[in-house]
Amino acid sequence: MPESDDRVPPAVPLLSLQAASLRFGGIVALDEVSFDVQPHTIFGLIGPNGAGKTTAFNVITRLYRVDSGDVLFDGRSLLHTPPSGVVRHGIARTFQNVELFPTMTVLENTLVGAHTVSRFKREGAMRAKAAEVLDYVGIASVAKRPAAGLPFGTLKRIELARALVSEPRLVLLDEPAGGLNHEEVEALATFIQRLRDDLKITVLLVEHHMNLVMRISDHVHVLNFGRTIASGPPADVQRDPQVIEAYLGGELEAAS
Amino acid sequence: MLGLSRKTKVSTGASLPVIVGIAAACIFLLVGCLVSNIFAQQTVAGLAQGAIFASLALALVLIYRATEVINFAQGELAMATTYIAYQLTLWHVSYWLAFFLTLVISFVLGAVVYGVLIRPVQHRSVIALVIVTVGLFILIDGLVTWKWGADLKFMPAPFGNNVYHAGGVSFSRQDIGVLLVSILSVILLWVLFQFTKLGLAMRAAALRPAAAALVGIRVDWMLAIGWGLAAVLGAVAGLMTEPSQFLQPTMMQAILLYAFAAAVLGGLESPAGSVVGGLAIGVFLNLIGQYVGYATSELRLPIAFAVLLVVLLLKPTGLFGRRQVRRV
C-alpha cells in the first residue's frame, strides 16, 4: 500500500442517496437528502421521531418512490428496480415493527429469505444455509416453532436471520434495539460489529438508542423534519449545536 | 418508545375443546356407521357432498387469504369451467383428458381474472373488489347462458353407476369417486403449499406483501397463481357436482352458499378449517335430512345458513380461526 493515505482516491460508496426528495401531500418527508455509505462500515441514521429515517429506508428498498433525486447502489440507480428486485442487488432489511410471517415456523421464515439466492436451487442447500444462519443469530433451538407468540427479542433475531440468509452486501436495520433490554442491546452492539468485521456486510442503522449508535457507527447522519442537519464521525455529530437543539426540543432521554 | 405499536397474531386456532369436539363427532359417526347401514350410507354420501363444499370453500379461503376479499364469482367460475369440460367432451375428448385439460384452462382463467379485473382495483376499497366479483358473477352467468343455453346438459358419467356392497351397506361408486378426487386435490394443494419453495413464497406473499417483496418474491405473480389454483379447485368442485346436479348455469349457486357456510365454520382464514367445515356440513345436512322428519330438502339451504349464523354469533373466528390481537 502507498503510504500517502490522503492521495488514495475515495472508495466508490456502496449506497448513495442523491438529493432524494419525497412529499406526502403537504408534508415533506425527505427534503433533498444526500448521503454516501462507504463499503464495510456501519452508518448510523438518526433523528427525532418523524425525521424521515424509515422513509429513507422505504425509498432505498423501493417501497416508496422518490419525487426527485436518485438512489445509487454500487454506482447504479435503483429507481427502475421493483421492490422484489432490490434483494437481488444485495440489499436486505429488517422492519421497525417486525414484519414476519406469523403462521410460519422460524425456519420457514428464514427460508423465505433465501428465496432468491440462485445457488440455493437445491432445497437441501437452502435448508443447510438457513440452519447455519439461525445458529449464527442464536435461535437455532426454536427453529421448528411458529413465529407468532415468541418473545419480541427473538422475533427481531428471526428478522435478522431472514435478512442475512440472502447473503446481502448491505443490510438496513430499522431500530434493531427497540424493545430490547440492556443485556440484549449489548449483545446487539457486538453482533452488528461482527456483521461488519467478520461477514464484511455494510450496515445502515436507524436507531433511537443514542449510546449504541454513537458507540458502533463509523459515520452518523442526522435528519430532522426530512432535512439533513449534520453528518460526520460520531464525536463531531454529538457536539453539533443543531443536533443538540433538535434532540433537546424533542426527546430529552435520547441525548444521554 | 413513542408510536411503537406492534401487531401480532396470536394463535387460538384448533384449541383443545375444538379438537375434542371434532374427535367426539368422528367417534359418533363411526359408531353410527357400525350400528346402522342407512346411517353409514348417508354418512358416505354426506362426505362426498361435503368434499365438494370443501373444495369450493378452500378456493374461497385461498383467495380470502391472498387478496382479503370473498370472491362471489367463485361458484360461477367453477360452473363456467365445467361447461368448458362439457364442450371438450362434445368434441370427443375422453372424460378424464377433458378433466385435466379443464384444470389447466381454469388455472389460466383464474390468473387472468386476477391480472385483468382484480389487480387494478386491489388497493382501492374492499367494496370495489366485492363489486368487481359480483359483476364477474353476472358476466359469467350471462356468457354461459348465451353460449350453451339455460337447459340441462349431460356429460359422460366419470365413475359409472355401479354400487359397492360391503356388509349389507351399499355405497355408490360415484360418491366414493367424488370423495376421492376432491380430497386428493385438496391434499395435493396442501403439499404444494407446505413443502415447496413456490408454496412458501405464495404463503409469504399472502401474509406480508411488503416483506415478501423485499425478500425478492414477485407478489403479483404469487397472487395470480393463487387465483389460478383457486379456479382449479373450483373446477374440481364443478366437475364433481355435475354427475349429481347435471349442467345448468345455476348449478353452483347453492353450492357456493354451502361453501360460504363451510368456510365461516372453519374460520375463513384456515385452509384446514374450510375442509373440515365442508365435510361437517355435508354430513350434517345428510343426517338431518335422514333422521329429522320435517327437515326436507327444501330446508337444506336454510339449515346451512342457520349453521353460519350460529357460528358467527357464538364463535366468529370459526373452528380453526385465529383471533387477531392488537398489542400496543
> CA-CA distance, B236 to B187, in Å (whole number)?
13
The pLDDT of residue A255: 43
User: What is the full per-residue pLDDT of chain B (328 aa) written as tens digits?
Assistant: 233 333 333 344 567 888 888 899 999 998 888 888 888 888 998 999 999 999 999 999 999 988 888 999 999 999 999 999 999 999 999 999 999 999 999 999 999 999 999 999 888 888 999 999 999 999 999 999 999 998 998 988 888 878 888 777 788 888 889 999 988 998 998 899 888 888 889 989 988 888 898 888 999 999 999 999 999 999 999 999 988 888 999 999 999 999 999 999 988 888 888 999 999 999 999 898 888 877 677 888 888 888 888 888 988 888 887 655 544 4
In a domain, B51, yes or no: yes
**What per-residue confidence (pLDDT) applies to B12?**
42
Residue A111 and residue A161: Cα distance in Å, rounded? 9
The pLDDT of residue B11: 41
Q: Which of B11, B210, B212 sits opposite A149 (nearest CB)?
A: B11
3-state secondary structure A190-239: HHHHHHHHCCCCEEEEECCCHHHHHHHCCEEEEEECCEEEEEECHHHHHH
**Closest CA–CA distance from residue B177 to any residue of chain A (Å):** 33
B20 lies in some domain: no
Q: Kindly determine whether residue B214 and residue A83, on different chains, have CB atoms separated by under 8 Å.
A: yes
Cβ of A101 within 8 Å of Cβ of B3? The answer is no
State the smallest CA–CA distance between residue A241 and chain B in angstroms.
24
CATH number at residue B269: 1.10.3470
From chain A, the residues in CB contact with B9 under 8 A are 102-103, 148
Q: Indicate the pLDDT class of residue A60, thresholds 50, 70 and 90.
A: very high
Residue type, B317: T
Q: What is the dihedral of CA B270, B276, B282, B288, to 10 degrees?
A: -110
Which tens digit of pLDDT belongs to each residue from A112-122?
888 776 666 67
β-bridge partners, B37:
none
- CB pair distance less than 8 Å for A61 and B11: no
Give the rounded distance of the alpha carbon of B235 from its chain centre.
Answer: 10
- Selected for mutation to probe chain A from B65, B215, B323 (highest A CB count within 10 Å) is B215
Determine the Cα–Cα distance for residues A155 and A148; give it in Å rounded to an integer.
9
> pTM here?
0.82
pLDDT given for residue A252 in this prediction: 46
**CB of A129 closer than 8 Å to CB of A119:** no
Please state, in angstroms and rounded to a whole number, the distance separating the CA atoms of residues B55 and B237: 6
User: How far B6 CA sits from the closest chain A CA (Å)?
Assistant: 6
Residue B30 domain-assigned (yes or no): no
Integer Cα distance of B279 and B300 in angstroms: 15
CA distance B133 to chain A (A): 28
Q: Structural domain of residue B197, as residue ranges?
A: 46-320
Assign A7 a pLDDT band (cuts: 50, 70, 90).
low
How far apart are alpha carbons A179 and B252 in whole angstroms? 51
Min CA distance, A5 vs chain B (Å)? 38
Residue B203 C-alpha, separation from nearest chain A C-alpha, in angstroms: 8
| B133 assigned to some structural domain | yes
Shortest CA distance from A253: residue in chain B: B1
Q: Do A111 and B200 touch (CB under 8 A)?
A: yes
**Model-level ipTM above the cut of 0.85:** no
Grid cell at residue B65:
387469504
How many beta-carbon contacts under 8 Å exist across A and B? 96
Q: Which stretches of chain A sit within 8 Å of chain B by CB?
A: 49, 61, 63, 82-88, 92-93, 95-104, 108, 111-113, 115-116, 123, 126, 146, 148-149, 152, 162, 166, 178-179, 208, 251
* CB-based contact A111 B2, cutoff 8 Å: no
**Placement of cell 378433466 in the chain:** B99
Specify if B3 maps to a domain.
no
Q: Give B224→chain A minimum CA distance, Å.
A: 16
pLDDT at A4 over 50: no
pLDDT over 90 (residue A15): yes
Residue type, A5: D
pLDDT computed for residue B98 by the predictor: 94
What is the DSSP secondary-structure string of chain A?
--S-GGGSPPPPPSEEEEEEEEEETTEEEEEEEEEEE-TT-EEEEE-STTSSHHHHHHHHTTSS--SEEEEEETTEE-TTS-HHHHHHHTEEE--TT----TTSBHHHHHHHHTTT-GGG-SHHHHHHHHHHHHHHTT-GGGTTSBSTTS-HHHHHHHHHHHHHTT--SEEEEESTTTT--HHHHHHHHHHHHHHHHTS--EEEEE-S-HHHHHHH-SEEEEEETTEEEEEE-HHHHHH-HHHHHHHHHS-TGGG-
* pLDDT number for residue A118: 60
Q: Which of B8, B193, B214 to mutate to test the interface with A (most CBs of A within 10 A)?
A: B214
Distance of CA A216 to the CA centre of its chain: 13
Q: Do B207 and A103 touch (CB under 8 A)?
A: yes
Which positions in chain B touch A181 (Cβ < 8 Å)? Answer: none
Please state the separation of Cα B253 from the chain's center in Å: 13
In Å, how far are A76, A85, A213, B293 from A17, measured between CA atoms?
Answer: 11, 18, 20, 76
Is the CB of residue A46 less than 8 Å from the CB of residue A221?
Answer: yes
**Residue from B188, B158, B189, B187 nearest B175 by CA:** B158
Which residues in chain B are closer than 8 Å to A100, comparing Cβ atoms? Answer: 208, 211
- 3-class SS string, chain B: CCCCCEEEEECCCCCHHHHHHHHHHHHHHHHHHHHCHHHHHHHHHHHHHHHHHHHHHHHHHHHHHHHCCCCCCHHHHHHHHHHHHHHHHHCCCCHHHHHHHHHHHHHHHHHHHHHHHHHHHCCCCHHHHHHHHHHHHHHHHHHHHHHHCCCCECCCCCCCCCEEEECCEEEEHHHHHHHHHHHHHHHHHHHHHHHCHHHHHHHHHHHCHHHHHHCCCCHHHHHHHHHHHHHHHHHHHHHHHHHHHCECCCCCHHHHHHHHHHHHHHCCCCHHHHHHHHHHHHHHHHHHHHHCCCCCHHHHHHHHHHHHHHHHHHCCCCCCCCEEEEEC
Which residue in B132, B129, B115 sits closest to B220, CA to CA? B115
Nine-digit cell at B98? 377433458
Identify the structural domains of chain A with CATH numbers, from first to last: 11-90+170-256 (3.40.50.300), 101-167 (no CATH)
Give how many domains chain B has, as a whole number.
1
Q: Do B213 and A166 touch (CB under 8 A)?
A: no
Is residue B290 within 8 A of residue B74, CB to CB? The reply is: no
Q: Are strands A15-24 and A27-37 parallel, antiparallel or unpaired?
A: antiparallel
B278 occurs within a structural domain: yes
